[in-house]
A = this chain, B = another copy of it.
């Protein structure tokens, strides 16, 4: 699946492969240096509440861009189409996952509002450049994500807890990982929790709620960052009548650079 051709592909080429259905995998490690984004699509009726939710929970939901109702072409990535250019989508009804698809053209309506939310994949290159190795990338897996008991600030009909992504980091590197990511508030910023997964409601690190588990070595601790999958969990807990999201790990790859 992962060929050198795709690995070195620019963002537009990766999106084109998604559009034709030829790329349907996780996007971590692809189109290096490009901002990747979580996607949340809600009917206009809930758009104010959700925008307010993002404004109140900027660590989980740092906004990259919000599109006007009905629009599918982000300003930051001209020519892209949010209905086709992600590797995978999830359709939720009343908070329940109904379907996973690779194209949402059939579900599109003029009252749908798309939110692009920053993604931790954008800070991974900063970490690896600093010599902090990331196991899920080395093992070509999706990052491990967990539902937590950390409450979000509610907004209108959006109420719930946050989702975190986890990366094992060596004890000697943790402070540096904090410093590096703290400088990037537009992509979740500093970790929300370090070590002690039980304290935030994670019973078993080997069984992530989204993505793939990775091993944690003796000289490492699990480090948790706020995650843009949070809206999916909040939609579930809030029993939101309708929304469309990306599949966790299968992001929208923008034309914007990480800096």
Contacts and interface: CB of A to CB of B under 8 A. Distances in A.
Contact of A47 (B48, B63, B66, B113): B48
B55 A48 contact: no
Count of identical protomers in the assembly: 2
A133 interface: no
Chain A interface residue number, banded: 10 to 19
A66 B55 CA distance: 9
A42 to B, nearest CB: 10
A128 B160 CA distance: 43
B55 A52 contact: no
Interface of A: 44, 47-48, 51-52, 55, 63, 66, 68, 113, 155-156
Complex A-B, nearest 5 residue pairs according to Cβ-Cβ distance, in ascending order: A48-B48, A47-B48, A51-B51, A52-B66, A55-B63
Given A48-B113, A51-B51, 5 more contacts: A47-B48, A52-B66, A52-B68, A55-B66, A68-B156
15 contacts: A44-B48, A47-B48, A48-B48, A48-B51, A48-B113, A51-B51, A51-B52, A51-B55, A52-B66, A52-B68, A55-B55, A55-B63, A55-B66, A68-B155, A68-B156
